[in-house]
Structure formats: structure tokens, C-alpha cells
Amino acid sequence: MPSQALTDAYTALLSRAPAPLFARARQLYLYKYCLDGRTTQSRLRLFVVRETLDERVDIDQDAGPLGRIATLQSSTEELALVHWQRDEHPGQTLIETYLQQSWHLQPSLIAPVEEPWFRKGGFQLRVTLQQPLTWVRSSRYQEIDNQSGKGKPTKS
């Protein structure tokens, strides 16, 4: 299971991200902002590479026949570890120290990537997590009853 620090950082990042409806804006946001926070001065930074989204709508048993619960779940299994604004590999010792001290993380796989991070942000490695990070948000709402005419304008 990912550490509490990593889970909290993921939750904070996704809580501010654009909605999935705005896919391009959301992707740019995730490429621009790291899990370390906006004020970090760290030479290494951790970014979400991609997320898997699952959206579903269920009946809300507590809200009557038109009650619904919309749930959005985001999962991430791969992160980018970026040597911020530097073109060279950061070295194994720095990587291990950063991952352990900052995130209490021992990934199952770390692999270098040939191209630099987004907008030449620095040398990147891909970190595969043993278990995915998960973020879930649910919202309750009422459907409009089209059968009874509720919510529809009436003719005069």
C-alpha cells in the first residue's frame, strides 16, 4: 500500500485538478504540478504520468427513486521521477534517499526514459508502484422525472 504521505499528496493534487471533462487541461495540470507541492525546492520531483479514470452512476437508496450517486475514481500506477531542470541521471543513492525519506516508497521498477520531462523539465525516470494510488470522489444528485413533467417547461 502506498504511504500516507504519497496518498495525501495524490489526494491534494487531484482535488485541485481540472475535471476529467476537460481532458487536455487535466493532463497539462498533472504534467505541470508535482506531488511534492507547488513550493518544493527539491532537486527530485514526482509527477503523475497518467491516470486511469472510472466513472459510474448508482442509485442512491437513501434519496428516493430519482436519487443518484455519481462516483469518479482515479488510479495511478506509474509516476515520473524528474531530476528537476537537469539533463543527467541523478544517481542511485539520491533516488533511493528521496523516495524513502519523502515518500516511504520502494517501487517495484524504476526505468529511465530517453526524452526529458514535459517542456524539458529535466531527466526523467518512470517509477512503477507496487500498488496503485487511488482517489475517489462521489456526488449525490436527483434525476429529473421526465414522465411527470417535472423540470420541463409547460405550454400555455
> What pLDDT score was predicted for residue 139?
87
At 121, the amino acid letter reads G
Considering the domain boundaries, does residue 121 fall inside one? Answer: yes
**Total structural domains within the chain:** 1
> What pLDDT score was predicted for residue 149?
53
> What pLDDT score was predicted for residue 151?
44
Considering the domain boundaries, does residue 118 fall inside one? Answer: yes
- Integer Cα distance of 156 and 148 in angstroms: 17
Domain of 13, in residue numbers: 4-142
Q: Are 46 and 117 in contact (CB under 8 A)?
A: no
- Integer Cα distance of 44 and 122 in angstroms: 9
**pLDDT greater than 80 at residue 155:** no
Instruction: Summarize pLDDT for 8-52 with one digit per residue, the tens.
Output: 999 999 999 999 999 999 999 999 999 999 999 999 999 999 999
Q: Average pLDDT for residues 112-128, to the nearest whole number?
A: 95
- Write down the pTM of the prediction: 0.83
Considering the domain boundaries, does residue 148 fall inside one? Answer: no
For every residue of 1-46, which 3-state class applies, written as one string? CCCHHHHHHHHHHHHHCCCCCCHHHHHHHHHHCCCCCCCCCCCEEE
Considering the domain boundaries, does residue 150 fall inside one? Answer: no
Considering the domain boundaries, does residue 127 fall inside one? Answer: yes
- 35-39, 63-67, 122-126, 150-154: which range is least confident on average? 150-154
Considering the domain boundaries, does residue 33 fall inside one? Answer: yes
| 67 membership: H or E segment, kind and range | strand 67-84
Considering the domain boundaries, does residue 11 fall inside one? Answer: yes
Instruction: Summarize pLDDT for 37-95 with one digit per residue, the tens.
Output: 999 999 999 999 999 999 998 888 888 888 888 899 999 999 999 999 999 999 999 99
Considering the domain boundaries, does residue 153 fall inside one? Answer: no
